[in-house]
Structure 1
Amino acid sequence: MADLFADTEPQAPAEAEQSEAAPLADRLRPRRLEDVVGQEHLTGPDGSIGRMVAAGKLSSMVLWGPPGTGKTTIARLLAAAVGLRFTAISAVFSGVADLKKVFAEAREHARIGKRTLLFVDEIHRFNRAQQDGFLPYVEDGTVTLVGATTENPSFELNAALLSRAQVLILHRLGAKALSMLLDRAEELEGRPLPVTDDARAALIASADGDGRFLLNQAETLFSVTVDEPLDPQALSQFLQRRVAVYDKDREGHYNLISALHKAMRGSDPQASLYYLARMLTAGEEPLYVMRRITRFASEDIGLADPNALVQCLAAKDAYDFLGSPEGELAIVQACLYCATAPKSNAAYKAAGAAWRTAKETGSLMPPHNILNAPTRLMKDIGYGRDYAYDHNTAEGFSGADYWPEEMAPQTFYGPTERGFEKRIAERMAYWRRLKEGNGQ
């Protein structure tokens, strides 16, 4: 059975000779922290990692970032930079027995003055009990823990573990950093990539910030011989298309739906359509997106445009009837309608205020005059007495007091001056004048 963890001396990353048979991404692994691209906010002199290395002392940390941004490389180079023994395990393949072995070996090395940097890849895949198992070894200094995760540590890691480790955020690699990786690949191979300038730019864009993916694509290009450099169209036919990174039950899911909601709230139909497309092309359930857009129609548009809710429900029915992909156009229509509609959260705020007041005053009886009186006893004690039937008044408005006797009238809903709510505000103001004229 192959080892599930690796144990190397700190000089290994800098001095190990790279085999020509190794993948291009491995052969291009940086040998110094300053060679890591795209993470200068951490590795630079003023960055958290840069300052720790300068001081010669590391604290435990969690490296949080997208795939292919250098988490494993940084961990190896950190051990080398401060002279720690490096051990790596993967939470995907390791269990309790492997952890016990790692901690026992780290304790043995600590007795002879050699501290251990324990790198745990995909640390979020350990369950809560396993994560708690790290705590005593981190606290007593047996290991300096460096965890790597693509998921939000706030959701995936124990609070106790997070309190003992810094969370350092790695950025997805930008076009400049990715271009530097291609330059290094071309220098190592001793020849340029067989692509045009436009195709090179398209190759960088297709990586979506993932340096490892980009280098794997470059390695494929270096392995073939072409008569003419590939243009963007030829490149797209030659290389596989990268699937967007998106976990429907994890943070990417919540990030994109949040972005869609806020773009619609900000009345930006272009950005709204972009985030809708991001979710649907990544495999999100269309009806989930439609439910969220429908919620938006009530929360952020409300009575400023009552037709928004109608549009959303019609889009849901259209999708149910047509299915994918034809029915997705109805979702697009609802999204664009909501993004371009006048906005109001007055109904949303009114609901919150009414709910709070109802919980505080839930035992108060409505006034007797607006209660039904189906029995003689109820009529005798005043139920329904002196009820003003609004339709029998000149204006169709009696101005009666409908609040419990022990409670002053409240104001929950305040319409805005936008869209249809402007007309509602005018109507409410008219009723208020009538009520004041009647001495109410």
Structure 2
Amino acid sequence: MSDLFQAAGLDRGAPRPLADRLRPQKLDEVVGQDHLVGPDGALSRLVDAGSLGSLIFWGPPGTGKTTIARLLAGVTKLRFEQISAIFSGVQDLKKLFEAARGRRATGEGTLLFVDEIHRFNRAQLDAFLPVMEDGTITLVGATTENPSFELNAAMLSRARVMTFRALDEEAIGKLLVRAEEAEAKALPLDGEARASLARMADGDGRAALTLAEEVWRSAKPDEVFSAAELQDIVQRRAPIYDKAQEGHYNLISALHKTVRGSDPDAALYYLARMLDAGEDRLFIARRLVRMAVEDIGMADPQALVVANAAKDAYDFLGSPEGELALAQTVVYLATAPKSNAVYVAYKAATALAKEHGSLTPPKTILNAPTKLMKREGYGATYRYDHDEPNAFSGQNYWPEKLGRQTLYQPTGRGLEARIGERLERWAELRRERGE
């Protein structure tokens, strides 16, 4: 129906958002994706070679995925068809494929653009495979989610993934200049406010132009806004973050690795990012406990106490006061001495236990609650360590078939340096006693 209105020219007087009016008409007008559509870009090379093939466009919102798909159809002389996986089902796909087959019979190809393609289930994705293979359609699927996780292997084997990048401040700046040229007036922002608006867009060109429209609507004649005033005027765009998807895993991974890497400033930054995006505070608290045992361990056993206390403090105080306890713990963990010796030893112990099965401990350390067990020698030669010199007997506790093993090897950092000295002294006593 919209195509009929456009053909009749009836849509010309209808209000159109600035982002729609400034949609590029040529590939070289697209900003921020030079690695794809620049002179040596991946898509430019495909177009020059005359062989497009099916593609998956992966990247954040507002980076030009739909626009580039439409422009590719134009330069390759393919019929452009667009659907959204949110509103389409198998019956819709069948109709599209039949129409594409009809066009193909007359020598016209079809570029089918599928927005939010990751929303299709496996059966729906499989429906594309035959028509991709026989050339009925050239598929261009767009997704904001990692295709490795969201699309099946069969589709990925038939389509090339093109990664779109969030627009940097320079690219956003170019869009704002175009907007000013289209509106024939400057944005009423001082330099700091202009830079702040670009940051608010969070790499999304469409969001940048929407924010610009809001600024123009809000400004009185000759009024120029500062960065602080801009914050009051526009509703700040929510960060790109889905607690069930990649953004969630990217930021928690970044937080964990910066703590492990002993960078408290970067760790606080990623913590703030997650809190700002609305992440579950108790999920963060649980991850901090994991960091304490996995990356600090016996180098500073107090780290586990601090991490658990932060969880309790947040439970007690709630937001926003309890978030300071999480921040304090992040700093504590990031600045603590690091050791994964317990983590490594535990994995080694697990592997050893699985490999050797149900070996019986030595009789020395087995209880003898019955006369029969006493006659069998259970516990007969056990030596009570507290009664031994240095409170250390040095007796062998390992199954006879396995022999003594060394799993835990402390580092020379933090408390583990002293623990290592203690273990070496005990090993020396064993050697002296021939144990």
Question: TM-score normalised by the shorter chain: which range applies?
Answer: over 0.9
1:127 aligns with 2:121: yes
Question: What is residue 216 of structure 1 aligned with on the other side?
Answer: 210
Counting matched residue pairs gives 432
Give, as a single letter, the amino acid of the residue that structure 1 aligns with 2:103. Answer: H
Question: What is residue 273 of structure 1 aligned with on the other side?
Answer: 268
State the alpha-carbon separation in 1 of the partners of residues 39 and 345 from structure 2.
52
Question: What is residue 329 of structure 1 aligned with on the other side?
Answer: 324
Post-superposition shift, 1:410? Answer: 1.3
Question: What is residue 186 of structure 1 aligned with on the other side?
Answer: 180
Selected match of 1:244 from 223, 228, 239: 239
Question: What is residue 311 of structure 1 aligned with on the other side?
Answer: 306
Selected match of 2:67 from 73, 77, 93: 73
Give matches, 1:197-236, under 5 Å. Answer: 197-223=191-217, 224-236=219-231
1:103 aligns with 2:97: yes
State the alpha-carbon separation in 2 of the partners of residues 427 and 227 from structure 1.
76
Range with bigger deviation, 127-136 or 91-100: 91-100
Give, as a single letter, the amino acid of the residue that structure 2 aligns with 1:213. Answer: A
Selected match of 2:166 from 145, 162, 172: 172
- Asked if the contact 1:194–1:226 (Cα under 8 Å) also holds between the matched residues in 2, the reply is no
1:57 aligns with 2:51: yes
Per-residue CA deviation, residues 112-134 of structure 1 (Å, 9 max, x unaligned), is 11110000000001111111111
- Asked if the contact 1:18–1:27 (Cα under 8 Å) also holds between the matched residues in 2, the reply is no
Secondary structure at 2:328 match in 1: helix
Selected match of 1:405 from 400, 409, 420: 400
State the alpha-carbon separation in 1 of the partners of residues 226 and 313 from structure 2.
40
Give, as a single letter, the amino acid of the residue that structure 2 aligns with 1:89. Answer: I
Post-superposition shift, 1:139? Answer: 0.7
State the alpha-carbon separation in 2 of the partners of residues 184 and 73 from structure 1.
16
Per-residue CA deviation, residues 265-318 of structure 1 (Å, 9 max, x unaligned), is 111111111111111111111001000010010000000000000001111111
State the alpha-carbon separation in 1 of the partners of residues 357 and 297 from structure 2.
26
Question: What is residue 431 of structure 1 aligned with on the other side?
Answer: 426
Selected match of 1:141 from 135, 147, 163: 135
State the alpha-carbon separation in 2 of the partners of residues 305 and 45 from structure 1.
55
Runs of at least 4 residues off by over 6 Å: 17-20
State the alpha-carbon separation in 2 of the partners of residues 263 and 405 from structure 1.
44
Selected match of 1:385 from 370, 380, 387: 380
Unaligned runs of 5+ in 2: none
State the alpha-carbon separation in 2 of the partners of residues 271 and 60 from structure 1.
40
State the alpha-carbon separation in 1 of the partners of residues 356 and 264 from structure 2.
42
Give, as a single letter, the amino acid of the residue that structure 2 aligns with 1:329. Answer: L
Per-residue CA deviation, residues 93-119 of structure 1 (Å, 9 max, x unaligned), is 112221111111101000011110000
State the alpha-carbon separation in 2 of the partners of residues 217 and 240 from structure 1.
8
State the alpha-carbon separation in 2 of the partners of residues 381 and 220 from structure 1.
87
Post-superposition shift, 1:19? Answer: 6.3
CA 1:33–1:194 in 2, change beyond 3 Å: closer, same or farther?
same
Question: What is residue 333 of structure 2 aligned with on the other side?
Answer: 338
Range with bigger deviation, 212-221 or 419-428: 212-221
TM value normalised by structure 1: 0.95
Range with bigger deviation, 57-66 or 232-241: 232-241
Post-superposition shift, 1:20? Answer: 7.3
State the alpha-carbon separation in 2 of the partners of residues 193 and 319 from structure 1.
43
Question: What is residue 352 of structure 2 aligned with on the other side?
Answer: 357
- Asked if the contact 1:368–1:382 (Cα under 8 Å) also holds between the matched residues in 2, the reply is yes
State the alpha-carbon separation in 1 of the partners of residues 13 and 26 from structure 2.
19
Give, as a single letter, the amino acid of the residue that structure 1 aligns with 2:84. Answer: S
State the alpha-carbon separation in 2 of the partners of residues 155 and 226 from structure 1.
51
Give, as a single letter, the amino acid of the residue that structure 1 aligns with 2:287. Answer: R
Question: What is residue 290 of structure 2 aligned with on the other side?
Answer: 295
Secondary structure at 1:395 match in 2: helix
